[in-house]
Amino acid sequence: MPLRVELKPFERIVIGDSVIVNSNTRARFIVEGDAPILRERDTVTAETADTPAKRLYLCVQTMYLKNDAIRYRASYLACMGDLDSAMPGVARLVEAVDRHVTAGALYKALKEIRALIEREDSAAVQAEAVP
């Protein structure tokens, strides 16, 4: 099933190893095929991966965009261990991520990790509020 994409002016989208940058007007296009696609706003860079959940996201994002889960398996397992140590109360979400990764549904895993990142951010805000 083709994917319909609409980009705002100067918005970026990652398709596999390539980054497409829109011009100064809105653009619509259709992507046919099974290429891994992420909007720039849904990506994490090495510089912004500063928490265990974001490092896990970066790892799974790389697995997804490179279409090579096996190569990054050791890094993935290390990130899962770090996340489990840092956030022991989110076992159900971590299990969901692992089920998706094991099944090869990496995009679904990224969606689950976004929920972990939101929870991590909320915990950080609450920790800063406590004197």
Are 102 and 96 a contacting pair, CB within 8 Å? no
Residue among 110, 109, 52 at smallest CA distance from 82: 52
pLDDT digits (tens, 9 = 90+) for 54-109: 999 999 999 999 999 999 999 999 999 999 888 888 888 899 999 999 999 999 99
How confident is the model over 6-27, as a mean pLDDT? 93
Beta strands 37-39 and 18-21, pairing class: unpaired
In tens, the pLDDT along 38-49 reads 999 999 999 999
| pLDDT above 90: residue 34 | no
